[in-house]
Amino acid sequence: MKAVVLKDWGDAENFSVQEVAKPAIRPSEVLVQVKAFGVNPADFKTRSGTAPYAKSYGHPIILGWDMAGVVVEVGAEVTGFKSGDAVYGMVNFPEPGQAYAEYVAASAAHLALKPAELSFEEAAAAPLAVLTAWQSLTEHGHLQAGEKVLIQAASGGVGHLGVQLAKALGAYVIGTASGKNEEFVRSLGADEFIDYTKANVEDVVSDADLVFDTAGADTIFASAKALKPNGRLISIAYGAMDKVLAVRPDIRAERILVHTSGDDLKTIGQFIAEGKLKIEVSQVLPADQIAEAHQQLESRRTTGKIVLTF
């Protein structure tokens, strides 16, 4: 099979498409013929060697956690899937994902049936970002209907799904991005939009129940200030919560790490079926343009998600 192989930590030029052996499956796994795979900022942090969970990986290595495809082989212990099923998932995280390939071996627990409403490209774009948004808002953020939530970087891979999920949960949603993304963020259902290049977010919002910060060090202190007393701050891109709590000791602040879950994808599938959650795929690139995909992501200026296909 063809796969995108990373020869060493470093820049995106270290990737090349090569012929490699098809993976063998364990009894708890299925073999998926990958129709499309997605990329996330975690991928370029892993590629460069800066992600903490990447330290133990050896080279050459096949990266890639997000994918959608068709089951072609089923392990002896697997009950939920059969050959021919269209599936998607965030596979093998935080081990090397190996989904930048024509076939991937994946634990059945990491997969869900692909919602019929999604193309393979849309489904491949979704898993890591949508699981992050869902777990941040619900499991950690305990978002309730009627609450006010501020979502920092509402136009990004995670943020654009966070806006829609928060609306679907009945919240009042304020999204931030630069002005070029205002129409997009409002189209997702945001009740208010703040252009962070024109206004200080904390000057506009000071009574949020929950802030979901997907941007990081540039925004985290404004996020803390935008909360009402006893508000909740969930961050996915900034970890020094002691510094945040020094500024706002009256809030709860947590940095979370997404976990893979086919069951969560199944739950989220209801919103997709109801038309409440759309996946924005801004670009579909051929697999041999993986370096281009990584470089675009590293610019931090992409809207929605980038997906690749062989």
Q: Cβ(49)–Cβ(35) under 8 Å?
A: no
The residue sitting closest to ligand NAP, measured at its beta carbon, is 156
Give the sign of the dihedral formed by CA 46, CA 177, CA 66, CA 36. negative
Does position 239 interact with ligand NAP (CB under 6 A)? The reply is no
Please enumerate in sequence order all residues whose Cβ is within 8 A of that of 270, keeping only pairs 6 or more positions apart, or say none. Answer: none
For the beta carbon of residue 108, count every other beta carbon within 10 angstroms.
22
Does position 144 interact with ligand NAP (CB under 6 A)? The reply is no
Interacting residues with ligand NAP between 162 and 181 (CB under 6 A):
176-178, 180-181
Q: Which stretch binds ligand NAP (CB under 6 A): 36-44, 79-87, 97-105, 244-252?
A: 36-44
Site string for ligand NAP, 278-297 (x = CB under 6 A): -------------------x
For the beta carbon of residue 159, count every other beta carbon within 10 angstroms.
30
For the beta carbon of residue 273, count every other beta carbon within 10 angstroms.
12
Exactly one of 75, 80, 189, 216 binds ligand NAP (CB under 6 A); that residue is 216
CA nearest 44: which of 73, 75, 6? 6
Does position 223 interact with ligand NAP (CB under 6 A)? The reply is no
- Is residue 299 exposed (0-12), middle (13-18) or buried (19+ Cβ within 10 Å)? exposed
User: In whole angstroms, how close is the CB of 302 to ligand NAP at the nearest point?
Assistant: 5
Does position 49 interact with ligand NAP (CB under 6 A)? The reply is no
Residues making contact with ligand NAP (CB under 6 A): 40-42, 128-129, 132, 152-153, 155-159, 176-178, 180-181, 196, 214-216, 218-219, 236-237, 256-258, 297, 300-303
